[in-house]
Amino acid sequence: MARSTKRPTRAAKKPAARRAAKPRPTRPTRAKRPKHPKRQRRAAASARTAPAADQMVARRAIRASAGIAPGMQPVNVLLPVGDIKAALTFYDRALGFAPGGAATAPSGERAYADLRHGASVVMLVPRTGTAASAADGSATVYVYVEDVDRIVAQAREAGVTIADAQDQPWGDRTASFTDPDGHRWTVATFKKLVPFEPA
């Protein structure tokens, strides 16, 4: 009997099952080390001192662009008085307000002075008795605005009776009006630095 030359076929190998990949252990994140207190103090000091001049220039530029005179607040109080020198003495002795700066009119008369109480400012001007003026004798809320002439036009559109803005001896351009409740307001825009003298 003849032998068969066919070789018996081997059963195909089943592919080995892949092992499930093990998740790699994640490294714990390190917490940021807090800065050394001395380094923090040095950094803060350098931030305060090194750019101090630049910061001051920037602050002045911002305030000037907003129409605020250097050293003034956005909202101040203006008091028309009969005698600026006597008023300075009174508020100094009675309330401890420190005399600030003063400006003189071209006529040589004292046209302006201010008192300081912390960051607050009380402005003094000679009383004139003119109703359209900020110095008509009533205490006035003195507000700095970016453009006083634009505010005058805006107020007129709202039905407010307000005089044209005028340049003042202390460097501001101002306009005044009375609100419906009788309170006096002056809107002002800082225009130029005027040489001040001690009040």
User: What pLDDT, in 10s, does the model give residues 33-60?
Assistant: 555 544 443 443 333 333 444 444 444 4
Report pLDDT digits (tens) over 95-127.
899 999 999 988 889 999 999 999 999 999 998
What confidence category does residue 182 fall into, taking pLDDT thresholds of 50, 70 and 90?
confident
pLDDT, residue 48, reads 34
Report pLDDT digits (tens) over 133-167.
555 567 899 999 999 999 999 999 999 999 999 99
Residue 196 buriedness (CB in 10 A; 0-12 / 13-18 / 19+): middle
pLDDT, residue 135, reads 55
- For domain 49-198, give the CATH superfamily: 2,3-Dihydroxybiphenyl 1,2-Dioxygenase, domain 1 (3.10.180.10)
- The ranges assigned to domains in the chain are 49-198
| CA-based nearest residue to 163, from 151, 171, 172 | 151
At 141 the three-state DSSP class reads strand
Helix, strand, coil: what percent of the chain each, to 5? 25, 25, 50
Please indicate whether residue 195 or residue 27 has the higher confidence score (pLDDT): 195
Q: Residue 60 — φ and ψ, nearest 5°?
A: -65, -40
